[in-house]
Structure 1
């Protein structure tokens, strides 16, 4: 078990490094291509839309429940790595570049939710902790492009090339992992099973909680770097980009630090209770970060990193709640559908955020990021009531 989970986590980390490549090199793309808010939003949103399309296709087909998920993961990671490389040979902001990001997201739908299907096959009692470990690997992977950009001074070819190499490595590593004793396989999938997401109250409320969480998560990850640059500029920092990149990397990676302990705590005291508490904390920190905008750099930095720590750990709990409540033979497809709906919402928030910031400023935009998790607290309260 230990070896297989370690390989799964390492493969997840490597493959998910492909996600935020365009965000990490966005200042370079903006300078080279003179991109406006619409183009920058499309580059970030394209990954989300591609992921949603891929996840919906996989959930309707029942791919994760019908085939060996390790092979699905491997093929998806390798193709995503190739699609990511197209950023280096296409014109900044062009349709071809947007399509390359769409293709990357499309293939990553075979990585993230399929990885959760593999993880839950290893345990029933410790699902919160195991999926938390997987989300932790995802967070470190998502932060990796910002670290690579910092290391390579946001050189497009270096950052994109390293991320693609990591993604391909993940596609190879996963083939060495095993499948757990609780792994189930469905010989035939009936799309009607997807309606269980609505018919089963616990699955429905867990999904609504996940949507409240996703309203904030990827918008924060995609745009906090851009917001910090503006905040530091207004505060008078001469060269804000390196500092903003470093803090963005730390904020995204910081979320990974709490995933495993929060998952373990949820296994002991209840996933619903812990998810509600984390949502409340995250929403509060979003409001605090918006109030500190253009204020003392140290205060903004502390609040943003704290927000980054709170924005992620509940993600694993919503998937674990679905795994607990859904029939085991349909778990993979229902988790994939839940993920698809969440990322469909993020496509909207990611696209709207820079336009809203351009019209009304980043402080209001950051405050609105916190609206979702605060609504999610009420959803978790209802789920806890039974």
Structure 2
């Protein structure tokens, strides 16, 4: 049975609203540094705190099979509301670096009930054409991630606290909307608490493992790139003071452009094949990593912006395709848990990647650290070639 026309737009919009919590701290980092007397390394630590919270959340959600045992829409609402409260708590003037790290960790924890659960809801509705549907869904994640940067530019005359309030309210609105408009899908199969045997069995299928390893390689690059986009622009402006551009606005454009690629990749995957498109995007993003020092050293800023926008597109376009492969190759009764588990491992990789690059750039100029991001997509390509 074909889902009602409002189902996919509702899931997509709710995903956009919920994931606006993800990089809200990064978007207001100058205000956080100024008001709480943080050092410049705080951006890496606060980003890592979110990722670590997400990892712990996805691990616990997987062990207790939350997305398979309970109504996914209700889980989404509870997590969007709770995550928004912890996000909002960052505006308290008594915060210190320790409390800010805790709040970002808890926000990340409840994002585990937003991003992978949103994918689970889509998989419960769309058996055929799942790649296209998840293309829209991950596109919403990308826009949600980039949204705080846009707020930081458009509302540059207002306080950073207002940005946090807006993103928190947006997340709650998305959760309520999903609960009201999207009931449990026709392909949902209720599961039970996960046994460790089931957890082990998830990774017994070689085809499932190929998809999972491809996703993990993709994640090595993705969040490090998103984290470093503002830093790349700031360094470029320092090297070329004659150039004038808004770091917040262009961060939004570069990251947000990925939403277009996710949707386009979803449509192309229906004609070319999901796995072929995923491998193509891995190849393109690895090439961007390797040639970054050359192209970012040019003084002609339109070339730099076009390159970064293209990179912002291909770095994320394979994400919904890998999620599609994981969902299609997992047993129906543990589909939500499989998606959550692979997310958990992928985000664990992002912590290693982010911290490694931040450490290396204290010794090596950032532009020459960027090629190390190619390790991930190259690993993914090799894993998908293995028999």
Q: Normalized against structure 1, the TM-score is what?
A: 0.94
* Cα 1:220–1:93 shift into 2, 3 Å: farther
Say yes or no: does 1:204 pair with 2:226: no
8 A Cα contact 1:209 1:379, kept in partner:
yes
Task: Tell me how far apart the structure 2 counterparts of residues 104 and 55 of structure 1 sit (CA, whole Å).
Answer: 12
SS of alignment partner, residue 124 of structure 1:
coil
1:1-386 matches, within 5 Å, as 1=3, 2-90=5-93, 94-153=97-156, 155-175=159-179, 176-237=181-242, 243-295=246-298, 296-382=300-386
8 A Cα contact 1:275 1:380, kept in partner:
no
Segment drifting more, 246-255 vs 153-162: 153-162
Q: Deviations over 1:138-160 (max 9, x none)?
A: 11111100001111217311111
Segment drifting more, 86-95 vs 57-66: 86-95
Segment drifting more, 213-222 vs 37-46: 37-46
Deviation of 1:293 after TM superposition, in Å, equals 2.5
Q: Deviations over 1:264-308 (max 9, x none)?
A: 222332221111100001111222333223422211111101100
Q: Deviations over 1:142-184 (max 9, x none)?
A: 1100001111217311111111111111111110213322121
Task: Tell me how far apart the structure 1 counterparts of residues 192 and 219 of structure 2 sit (CA, whole Å).
Answer: 32
For structure 1, the 5+ residue unaligned runs are none
* Cα 1:243–1:370 shift into 2, 3 Å: farther
8 A Cα contact 1:319 1:335, kept in partner:
yes
Q: Normalized against structure 2, the TM-score is what?
A: 0.94
8 A Cα contact 1:207 1:338, kept in partner:
yes
8 A Cα contact 2:63 2:193, kept in partner:
no
Segment drifting more, 291-300 vs 210-219: 291-300
Aligned length: 381
Q: Deviations over 1:295-335 (max 9, x none)?
A: 22211111101100111111011111111111100110011
Q: Deviations over 1:120-143 (max 9, x none)?
A: 111222111111111011111111
Task: Tell me how far apart the structure 2 counterparts of residues 213 and 179 of structure 1 sit (CA, whole Å).
Answer: 30
Task: Tell me how far apart the structure 1 counterparts of residues 93 and 297 of structure 2 sit (CA, whole Å).
Answer: 35
Q: Deviations over 1:42-68 (max 9, x none)?
A: 111100000000000000000111110
Task: Tell me how far apart the structure 2 counterparts of residues 375 and 188 of structure 1 sit (CA, whole Å).
Answer: 33
Deviation of 1:92 after TM superposition, in Å, equals 6.6
8 A Cα contact 1:273 1:380, kept in partner:
no
Segment drifting more, 117-126 vs 23-32: 23-32
Task: Tell me how far apart the structure 2 counterparts of residues 150 and 28 of structure 1 sit (CA, whole Å).
Answer: 13
Segment drifting more, 333-342 vs 193-202: 193-202
Task: Tell me how far apart the structure 2 counterparts of residues 169 and 199 of structure 1 sit (CA, whole Å).
Answer: 39
Cα RMSD (Å): 1.7
For structure 2, the 5+ residue unaligned runs are none
Segment drifting more, 335-344 vs 354-363: 354-363
8 A Cα contact 1:78 1:168, kept in partner:
yes
Segment drifting more, 35-44 vs 173-182: 35-44
Q: Deviations over 1:82-139 (max 9, x none)?
A: 0001211145761001111001000000001111110011122211111111101111
Task: Tell me how far apart the structure 1 counterparts of residues 364 and 122 of structure 2 sit (CA, whole Å).
Answer: 42
Deviation of 1:40 after TM superposition, in Å, equals 2.6
